[in-house]
Amino acid sequence: METAYVKTPIGTAEIKGDKNGVASITVFDEEKTDHHILPEVLEDAVYQLKEYFEGTRKQFDLKLNPEGTNFQKKVWNALLQIPYGKTISYLDLSKRLGDVKAIRAVAAANGQNPLWIVVPCHRVIGSNGDLTGYAGGLHRKKWLLQHESPVKQQSLF
Catalytic (active-site) positions: 121
C-alpha angle 124/56/142, rounded to 5°?
30
Q: Amino acid letter at 93?
A: L
Sign of CA dihedral 84, 142, 76, 50: positive
Length of the chain, in residues? 157
3-state percent breakdown (helix, strand, coil) of the chain, nearest 5: 35, 20, 45
